[in-house]
Amino acid sequence: MSVESLRAKKNKQARGLEPAELVLKNCHLVDVFCGELKEADVAICGDTIVGIGDYSGVEEFDCRGGIVCPGFIEGHIHIESSMLSPKQFVDTVLPHGTTTVICDPHEIANVAGITGVRYLLEESEGLSCSIFAMAPSCVPATHLETSGADLLSQDLVELMQLPQALGLAEMMNFPGVLLQDKEVVAKLVAAGKLGVPIDGHAPGLSGKDLQAYIGNGVMSDHECSTAAEALEKLSSGMYIFIREGSTAKNLTALLPAVTEKNSHRCLLVTDDCHCDELLKEGHLDRILRKAVRLGLDPITAIRMVTINVASFFGLRDRGGIAPGFRADLVLFDDLQDIRVRTVYSGGQQIGVRPGETELVSADLLERYPRVFDSVNVKTEGLSFEIPANGKTARIIRVKKDELITDSVECDVKIIDGMAVADKDRDIAKLAVIERHHCTGNRGIGFVQGLGLKKGALASTVGHDSHNITVVGANDYDMHLVVKTIIAQGGGLAVVCDGEVKARLVLDVAGLMSSAAPRVLAANFSKLLEAALELGVTVDDPFMLMSFMALPVIPHLKMTDLGLVDVDSFCLTDQWL
């Protein structure tokens, strides 16, 4: 059918001159434009809403008095952190009402550059959930680590002009913005010329430095940890993305900052969310339920995952229920406890259970070798010994449900001139090993707060450069766990007393799995159980480990180049 014929058809159905193709009857609509519920039918032609009111249809669906709202829109997520490929991710979140996702693919970009981003977008084409991307602004995130690729300003211009691209992803290098680093500024200028949104990432930034950061074109932030921080950024013109992911959970702390007057500038996002949590608890519907339990008005909460997101990113065809909008709709029964009953994506009804997708096609394997062969490590001479060059050392102290790590100074345990792990004081060894270019780079030190008593854990997921992160109570198990994930081509593993207790293969860039979601989740649960047997006390040690190597979140981190003082934005000595 020609565009003109389709337009005429939609016009007739909107005017009631002929029955609509599909009408949702007997429902209460969430009007995100006026912030109220109203009784009306929803008339749909193809993938588009043609009218709301009193309509008849060729096909009619009785909602039985249920509530219909726009499909949920995820405003900021790294799909790679779910450990699911795009197809499996969609199979998992779509039944929970998520019909549009804006992702930041900087995880796979840090491994495979533009090639990795193109792979992710290609595998996302034609899915029932629309996948859009922001061009990764910080690949590598800083000069303090070794990444698998470098994306310069000209690369980002190329990415931002792709049909699925919406703007410039989180500018994590806020020191580079403030110090007017030439390449950082070039990226911001390029996005400004294209007139696209620029996401921010500025934990704790305040005062005049915040004003300068925003003045460089940055429009949002998802790193607030206090209501006061959120309010300062809101009043300075930023949109605030309230994050409730698998590790960083800021909803409880930030919700007091949301008011009737400023809620239109607030979004609910996940940022990073593991597969098992998506399957067990849900996606944005999970956050909506918690927000309502904490006292947020349900319609306000729904706006924060629909029209607010669409408005920020310039998605004019979705986010509301109105003529001309895409027919992405969610049906549920109770505003106080949002449990998805039915989902429509582009006018097509979606099943309520996650499906099982096919493995990666042979064609993709052939055309994207860098994505599927991503672990290149020099193991000869690899050592986890730490010569004691003093008595007192700087160590990383992790916090439950926080990405921010403290820098603490304490005396370490020394045996035969070597600093070792100390289970009695909850101090384990932490190492980051470069895995992209076979450089042999290795940073090593100590971490406190995991509860690890024995064995070792390792992962090729290490934000943002995704080198190998390993924590352990002894060197032998640290060696074995690293060799295990190298042999399997990437992923996670748990080792104790020379035995592999559990492992998970991540064959896509060492970040994602081609396995079905439920298989992946089951294997991940076994990993968590194995970690628990080693004494680990945090809920998800692998997610927490993945951020120990991220030198853009305060205060002390570890990369393959060594210990990083994030506050001073430089490498620092371990020994005092």
Q: Give 193-230 pLDDT, tens digit per residue.
A: 999 999 999 999 999 999 999 999 999 999 999 999 99
List beta partners, residue 24.
42, 61
User: CA distances (Å), 391 to each of 388, 394, 417, 475, 557, in order?
Assistant: 7, 10, 10, 20, 20
Q: Which residue, chain included where needed, has tokens 């640290």? A: 478
H or E stretch at 232? helix 227-235
Which pTM value belongs to this model?
0.90
CA distance 384 to 128: 47
Q: What is the pLDDT of residue 354?
A: 46
pLDDT band, very low/low/confident/very high, at 359 (cuts 50, 70, 90): low
Give the whole-angstrom CA distance, residue 183 versus residue 138.
10
* Residue 326 predicted with pLDDT over 90: yes
Give the pLDDT of residue 161: 94
Q: For residues 523 and 536, what is the distance between their CA atoms, to the nearest angstrom?
A: 18
Kindly state the tokens that stand for 439: 């450089």
CATH for the 71-320 domain, from 3.40.50.410, 1.10.10.10, 3.20.20.140, 3.30.930.10: 3.20.20.140
Sequence-distant (6+) residues with CB within 8 A of 433 are 377, 382, 441, 442, 467, 468, 470, 482, 560
- Average pLDDT in the 373-398 region? 93
Domain spans, the chain: 71-320, 373-571
Question: 110 pLDDT exceeds 60?
Answer: yes
What are the tens digits of pLDDT across the range 476-511?
999 999 999 999 999 999 999 999 999 999 999 999
Token pair of 283 as six digits: 């996606």
According to DSSP, the residues that pair with 445 across neighbouring strands are 430
* Structure confidence at residue 41 (pLDDT): 97
pLDDT of residue 357 exceeding 60, the answer is no
- pLDDT of 147 reads 94
Cβ-contact 485, 502 below 8 angstroms: no
Please report which confidence band the pLDDT of residue 457 belongs to, taking 50, 70 and 90 as the band edges: very high
pLDDT digits (tens, 9 = 90+) for 22-58: 999 999 999 999 999 999 999 999 999 999 999 999 9
Q: Is the pLDDT assigned to residue 132 strictly greater than 70? A: yes
**CA gap 270, 78 in Å, rounded:** 9
**Mean pLDDT value across the chain:** 94
Cis peptide before 464, with omega less than 30 degrees from 0? yes
Question: What is the rounded CA–CA span in Å between residue 190 and residue 183?
Answer: 11
Q: Taking a C-beta distance cutoff of 8 angstroms, is the pair 499, 534 a contact?
A: no
Q: Specify the higher pLDDT residue, 544 or 343.
A: 343
pLDDT at residue number 379: 84
Q: What is the DSSP string of 160-220?
A: HTSTTEEEEEEE--HHHHHTT-HHHHHHHHHHHHHT--EEE--TT--HHHHHHHHHTT--E
For residue 201, cis peptide bond before it (omega within 30 degrees of 0): no
Question: Edge to edge, what strands does the sheet with 413-415 contain?
Answer: 386-387, 418-420, 413-415
Say how far apart CA 48 and CA 51 lie, in whole Å: 9
pLDDT band at 380 (very low <50, low <70, confident <90, very high): confident
pLDDT of residue 358 exceeding 60: no
pLDDT > 80? residue 361: no
**What pLDDT band is residue 355 in, cutting at 50, 70 and 90?**
very low
Q: Check if the beta carbon of residue 220 is closer than 8 Å to that of residue 197.
A: yes
Tell me what percent of the residues of the chain surpass a pLDDT of 90.
85
pLDDT at 360 over 70: no
Q: What angle do CA 322, 66, 347 make, to 5 degrees?
A: 45
pLDDT of residue 569: 87
